[in-house]
């Protein structure tokens, strides 16, 4: 069984327009073959549920940079540990509540004099303006349960100070394609991918994991899978992922997603592999 873990912004979704239609044929083929497609991004539960509904994806998903795994109640036919049940999901929580994170950020502002703003400091119109999202999409982006998104550009020195202060509160900051996301130090895409992979390994005899991403915050995801695909950024470069073994895809966003996934499925079919 192939399991696909995918980032959203700049990967399955266009970096600027959030359009996924160039990847629609590939997503449809993945679903037709019964291959689990796990969304794993900094986006909220509300945002990911929107795209899951649009694309017809029924599988578990990982929210807010690995802060929680939302598992449909009937996804696995065996017992496993989870922290809460909500809206038909069993939720494995790795992160801290957003309210606690926002309180810590306010205390850091007071201690250091750093000036920055997050989604919770902005009106819905302001969030729409900085993200380019329509009002309904901006509202979904603001529905953060385990993180805070910082939209203010920060100098290298300010980032370093903020990271030091956050560490004292067991928090960390990661840079995505556009903004900075503050989460618990225990929120990690790689950890969440590994936890969910272990559940799939209990369900299926043999599992191969494939991961797709484009940004620095995708490195843990790509490090946790068997086959990692790094998509090109809009300027033609690839994110520096150090010595991590990745397949560099020469296409951007959903075009790159389609190229990587359909190429992988074609190779599997040619080799006579069993996909599901």
CATH number where 264 lies? 3.40.50.1000
Note whether residue 275 is domain-resident.
no
Active site residue 7: yes
Question: CATH number of the domain that 160 lies in?
Answer: 3.30.980.20
If asked whether residues 73 and 193 sit together in one domain, one would say yes
On the question of pLDDT at 272 being above 70, the answer is: no
If asked whether residues 172 and 223 sit together in one domain, one would say no
First to last CA, the chain: 5
| Per-residue pLDDT, 273 | 55
Nearest to 16 by CA among 166, 142, 133: 133
If asked whether residues 164 and 198 sit together in one domain, one would say no
What is the tens place of the pLDDT at every residue in 187-216?
A: 999 999 999 999 999 999 899 999 999 998
For residue 146, the enclosing domain spans 98-184
| Per-residue pLDDT, 268 | 78
Q: Of 184, 216, 243, which marks where a domain is finished? A: 184
Tokens representing 60 are: 């578990």
Question: Looking at the whole model, is its pTM more than 0.85?
Answer: yes
Give the span between the Cα atoms of 92 and 90, in whole angstroms: 7
Among 7, 9, 188, 214, which one carries the catalytic annotation? 7
By DSSP bridging, strand 68-72 and strand 84-86 are unpaired
Number of structural domains (the chain) is: 2
Note whether residue 225 is domain-resident.
yes
- The answer to whether 226 and 209 are in contact (CB under 8 A) is yes
If asked whether residues 176 and 121 sit together in one domain, one would say yes
**pLDDT, mean over the chain:** 94
Helix 156-168 vs helix 98-112: angle between axes, to the nearest 10 degrees? 120
| Per-residue pLDDT, 175 | 77
């Amino acid at each position: 069984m192939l399991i696909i873990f995918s980032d959203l912004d700049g990967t399955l979704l266009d970096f600027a327009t959030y359009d996924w239609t160039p990847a629609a044929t590939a997503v449809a083929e993945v679903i037709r073959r019964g291959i689990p497609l796990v969304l794993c991004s900094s986006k909220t539960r509300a945002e990911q549920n929107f795209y899951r509904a649009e694309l017809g994806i029924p599988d578990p998903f990982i929210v807010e940079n690995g802060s929680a795994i939302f598992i449909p109640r009937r996804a696995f036919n065996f017992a496993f540990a989870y922290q809460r049940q909500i809206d038909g999901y069993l939720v494995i929580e790795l992160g801290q509540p957003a309210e606690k994170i926002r309180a810590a950020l306010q205390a850091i502002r007071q201690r250091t004099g750093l000036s920055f703003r997050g989604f919770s400091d902005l009106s819905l119109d302001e969030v729409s303006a900085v993200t380019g999202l329509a009002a309904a999409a901006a509202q979904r982006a603001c529905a953060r349960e385990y993180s805070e998104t910082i939209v203010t550009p920060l100098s290298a020195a300010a980032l370093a100070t903020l990271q030091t202060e956050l560490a004292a509160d067991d928090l960390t900051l990661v840079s995505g394609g556009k903004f900075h996301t503050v989460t618990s130090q225990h929120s990690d895409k790689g950890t969440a991918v590994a936890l969910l992979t272990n559940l799939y390994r209990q369900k299926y005899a043999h599992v191969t994991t494939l991961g797709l991403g484009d940004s620095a915050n995708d490195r843990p995801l790509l490090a946790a899978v068997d086959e990692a695909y790094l998509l090109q950024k809009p300027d033609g470069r690839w994110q520096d992922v150090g010595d991590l073994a990745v397949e560099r895809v020469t296409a951007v966003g959903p075009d790159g997603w389609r190229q990587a996934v359909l190429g992988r499925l074609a190779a599997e079919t040619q080799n006579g592999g069993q996909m599901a």
